[in-house]
A and B are shown apart, each in its own frame.
Chain A
Amino acid sequence: MRPFDYTRAQDSAEAARIAGQGATFIAGGTNLLDLMKLEVMTPDHLVDITHLDLNEITQTEAGGLRIGALVTNSDLAADMAVRRGWPLLPKALLSGATGQLRNKATTGGNLLQRTRCYYFYDPDMPCNKREPGSGCAAMGGMNRLHAILGASDACIATHPSDMAVALRALGAHVDLMAEDGSTRTLPLGDLYRLPGDTPEVETNLKPGELITHVVLPAPVHGRQIYRKVRDRASYAFALVSVAAVIDVESGVISQAKLAFGGIAPMPWRMTEIEDFLIGKAPSEDLWEEAADLLLSDARGQGSNDFKIPLARRTLAAVLNEATRGDDQ
């Protein structure tokens, strides 16, 4: 870990201002410190935002929720309003990490966690994300964790969050505050960037810009499922995950929101699939066609080739489960 200065910010404006001068935010620290110890990340100034007033969950006028960026993953998963209205979110949160980590990790930090690519984590290995232009060791190396969608010739890393996948399916937005105190709101999907030629740039945040809140729209009708497929029963990153909110009325799908984890550089959502499903009757053939839409551009890298059939099968199983039964 490189030496750094440490400042504890008293309010959001101060935090954004200091960060605008080049400092890095620290909240839960569960990923940042992990990476700083390996000198994968080497900030020279940390601004501690844990004392900011961003740890409340409040109702919005639209019937949704406004979640402070500092609300811990544990508190978010335990919140009764969240559990009742958006059960997809606690399901995703609780499938990630551990009790200890969720007690520290925050809503904002979870969104901004870095990839778990083995080579990104090893400063002696080439990695375009860590050291632009050095190459990608995961291509031609081990890439079990890596992306089949949205990757580029420069980077095939995945985004590891479960929470972000659920939020993407739920149509969440993020509230941001800039260095000058101005605010803006982005759909979660617009927070992230695909790697392209610049995998080191992962988000559309401006320098110093702070995530202050995540906003959930009002609950939608439908069965909510988060299915995470991984190498251990617990405490492992997703190989494939599917977040779904599906409703069936009069024998046809009336609501479909889908997002995917473990397969792309960002929580993946394709509204084409959702539009395709709406108004159709559930069937195995329909799931196949939905999977075709999802995976038409999918490309394996060797040790992650299995994710293509796995994503297909998992999507079908989730859609089956979501449309099964007589309570629709």
Chain B
Amino acid sequence: MQTKLTINGNEHDLEHDTRTTLLDALRNHLGLSGTKKGCDHGQCGACTILINGRRINACLTLACMHDGDEITTIEGIGTPDNLSPMQAAFVQHDGFQCGYCTPGQICSATAMLEEARMGWPSHVTDDVTSAPDLTDTEISERMSGNLCRCSAYPNIVDAIRQVSEKTT
């Protein structure tokens, strides 16, 4: 079947199997391999991308369900010559080692700050009617959908906290 996908502002006409997930469309069909496959079952977060500004697992959605959506992948967040503040903070704080979960972490963190800005509570928010401060614990809980086996977690929290403080 055919689907028109808008990725990082560019339109792509994709001829594909109904079974093709958005993740496989990116990696196997469109050459956008910055989005990683770590588990293919929504259990690791390496494939995190943004759909209309919201973070999702690209492995658990079909490409054919996304025509008309604004898709942002790591390639649309920044480039080596023009890093986003989050990407720069990850480099500065060594928020990764092997780097495989990193695009997903950065997409997730980027969208997560927006969720926090909108006042969304989290599991560790004591009073769900409040708009919580983004403490380290809040950052950690909100980033717990992105596994990192190298365990750069403390550095990831440092990087996100820095970006959060600069933008608020």
Could you tell me which A residues sit within 8 Å of B by CB distance? 1, 3-6, 8, 26, 28-30, 33-34, 37, 46, 48, 50, 74, 77-78, 80, 83-84, 87, 90-91, 94-95, 97-101, 103-104, 233-235
Minimal beta-carbon separation of B123 from chain A (angstroms): 4
- CB-CB < 8 A to A37: which residues of B? 40-41
- CB-CB < 8 A to A94: which residues of B? 121-123, 125, 128
Instruction: Give the number of residue pairs across the A-B interface with Cβ within 8 Å.
Output: 106
Question: Are B41 and A99 touching (Cβ within 8 A)?
Answer: no
Minimal beta-carbon separation of A99 from chain B (angstroms): 5
- CB-CB < 8 A to A104: which residues of B? 56-57, 60-61
B145 in contact (CB, < 8 A): yes
Q: Tell me which of A4, A5, A34, A100 has the highest count of chain B C-beta atoms within 10 A of its own C-beta.
A: A100
Question: Are A87 and B62 touching (Cβ within 8 A)?
Answer: no
Size category of the binding interface on chain B: 35 or more
Question: Are B57 and A30 touching (Cβ within 8 A)?
Answer: yes
Given contact pairs A30-B42, A98-B145, A99-B115, A6 touches B62 in the complex (Cβ within 8 A): yes
Question: Are B54 and A90 touching (Cβ within 8 A)?
Answer: no
Q: What are the 3 A-B residue pairs with the smallest beta carbon separation, nearest first?
A: A98-B145, A234-B144, A94-B123
Question: Are B144 and A77 touching (Cβ within 8 A)?
Answer: no
B65 in contact (CB, < 8 A): yes
Closest B residue to A78 using CB positions? B120
B108 in contact (CB, < 8 A): yes
Question: Are A83 and B123 touching (Cβ within 8 A)?
Answer: no
Question: Are A77 and B115 touching (Cβ within 8 A)?
Answer: no
Closest B residue to A32 using CB positions? B60
Could you tell me which B residues sit within 8 Å of A by CB distance? 1, 17-19, 21, 40-42, 45, 48, 51, 54-57, 59-62, 64-65, 108, 111-112, 115, 118-123, 125, 128-129, 140-142, 144-146
- CB-CB < 8 A to B17: which residues of A? 3
- CB-CB < 8 A to A83: which residues of B? 121, 128-129
Determine the distance from Cα of A103 to Cα of B122 in the docked complex, in whole angstroms: 13
Question: Are A103 and B128 touching (Cβ within 8 A)?
Answer: no
- CB-CB < 8 A to B144: which residues of A? 98, 233-235
Question: Are A235 and B56 touching (Cβ within 8 A)?
Answer: no
Question: Are B56 and A100 touching (Cβ within 8 A)?
Answer: yes
Q: Tell me which of B17, B45, B145 has the highest count of chain A C-beta atoms within 10 A of its own C-beta.
A: B145
- CB-CB < 8 A to B61: which residues of A? 29, 33, 104
30 residue pairs of the A-B complex, CB under 8 angstroms, read A1-B19, A3-B19, A4-B18, A4-B19, A6-B18, A29-B62, A30-B42, A33-B60, A34-B60, A46-B18, A48-B64, A48-B65, A74-B54, A77-B121, A78-B119, A78-B120, A83-B129, A87-B129, A94-B121, A94-B128, A97-B145, A98-B42, A98-B145, A99-B108, A100-B42, A101-B57, A104-B57, A233-B141, A234-B141, A235-B145
- CB-CB < 8 A to B18: which residues of A? 3-6, 46
